């Protein structure tokens, strides 16, 4: 199977803008909104969503950094024994999450295990009023009953295929993309937990 690009840079930008609007509509504005990205690419996407929200409602969000942060889930994962080389990233909250609507952001939703770990991590940090999930790509194959509230692209795929999200901020590429590749193809930027 050959690699094929399913989202190009402009598609990614449009998807993030749409997700930003959907978050604002769902939350009825920016009051008590916190956006937390899951390292690595989720942090970049969360920052872009917060910046988009700032452009949409500049009178409510003067500084995107005031509503965006990162949530490391490394120590909450159930696969640490199989992947002991994972390096924890610092969790950075923009303030208390108590009573807030927290939107978790990740690049690819696959089995749901990363999101389960994120929910456990959030539980240790406070008690949000609500938790929502935004993902750039939902590829299916869930192992846990987890569903994204905001999705850039639903991308049904075979379990043997891999989804690669390549972002300039993380991967150093000039042209950002999301591609689907078969098991014999190689690439960096693999995502999908």
pLDDT digits (tens, 9 = 90+) for 133-188: 999 999 999 999 999 999 999 999 999 999 999 999 999 999 999 999 987 654 54
Average pLDDT of the chain is: 92
Q: What is the pLDDT of residue 62?
A: 86
Alpha helices, DSSP H, located in 61-172: 113-125, 168-171
Higher-confidence position of 22 and 189: 22
Does the pLDDT value for residue 16 go beyond 60? Answer: yes
User: Which residue from 90, 91, 103 is spatially nearest to 48, judged by alpha carbons?
Assistant: 103
Which pTM does this prediction carry? 0.91
The full set of domain ranges for the chain reads 9-157
Q: What is the pLDDT of residue 1?
A: 55
Q: Under CATH, what is the fold of the domain 9-157?
A: Rossmann fold (3.40.50)
Separation CA 65–CA 47 (nearest Å): 8
Q: What is the pLDDT of residue 6?
A: 96
Cis check: omega of the bond before 40, within 30 degrees of 0: yes
Q: What is the pLDDT of residue 3?
A: 85
Q: What is the mean pLDDT of residues 21-28?
A: 97
Share of the chain above pLDDT 90, in %: 83
Within 10 angstroms of residue 81's Cβ, the number of other Cβ atoms is 7
């Amino acid at each position: 199977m050959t690699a094929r690009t399913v989202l190009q840079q402009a598609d990614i930008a449009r998807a993030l803008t749409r997700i930003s609007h959907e978050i604002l509509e769902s939350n009825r504005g920016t009051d008590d909104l916190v956006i937390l990205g899951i390292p690595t690419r989720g942090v970049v996407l969360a920052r872009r969503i917060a910046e988009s929200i700032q452009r949409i409602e500049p009178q409510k969000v003067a500084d995107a950094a005031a509503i965006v942060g990162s949530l490391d889930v490394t120590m909450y994962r159930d696969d640490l024994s199989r992947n002991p080389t994972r390096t924890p990233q610092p969790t950075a909250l923009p303030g208390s999450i108590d009573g807030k609507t927290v939107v978790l952001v990740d690049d690819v939703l696959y089995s749901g295990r990363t999101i389960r770990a994120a929910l456990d991590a959030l539980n240790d940090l406070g008690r949000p009023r609500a938790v929502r999930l935004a993902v750039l790509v939902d590829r299916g194959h869930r192992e846990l009953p987890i569903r994204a509230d905001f999705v850039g692209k639903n991308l049904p795929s075979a379990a043997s295929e891999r989804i690669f999200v390549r972002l300039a901020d993380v991967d150093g590429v000039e042209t950002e993309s999301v591609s689907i590749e078969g098991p014999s193809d190689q690439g960096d930027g693999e995502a999908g937990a």
